Amino acid sequence: MLYCVEMTVNIPRDIPLEQVEQIKASEKARAIEIQNSGKWPHLWRVVGKYSNISIFDVESNDELHNLLSSLPLFPYMTIQVTPLAKHPSSVF
């Protein structure tokens, strides 16, 4: 199942910078791990925002939820999920 996921990050300003940097490093490592598994085939930055648009290829809603909630930045994210279906005019 394919999902378009928009993740927007809003880290509170009262978190110490060292902690923020550690969370970001952990986030990057976890994101790479999921991408290498093939479950996160596309990841794009949204210009001018601390946000991304991604495509996930997973077996179920639960698997997607588990992957997203495993991200270290998850507590600081607003996430919008859109299930995708093949378009009848698509040549791919």
Query: All domains of the chain, ordered by start, with CATH?
Result: 2-84 (3.30.70.1060)
Is residue 55 within 8 Å of residue 41, measured between CB atoms? yes
* pTM for the predicted model, two decimal places: 0.93
Helix (H, G, I), strand (E, B) or coil at 82: strand
Alpha helices (H) along the chain: 17-36, 61-69
pLDDT tier for residue 92 given thresholds of 50, 70 and 90 = confident
Q: What is the pLDDT of residues 9-46, one digit of tens each?
A: 999 999 999 999 999 999 999 999 999 999 999 999 99
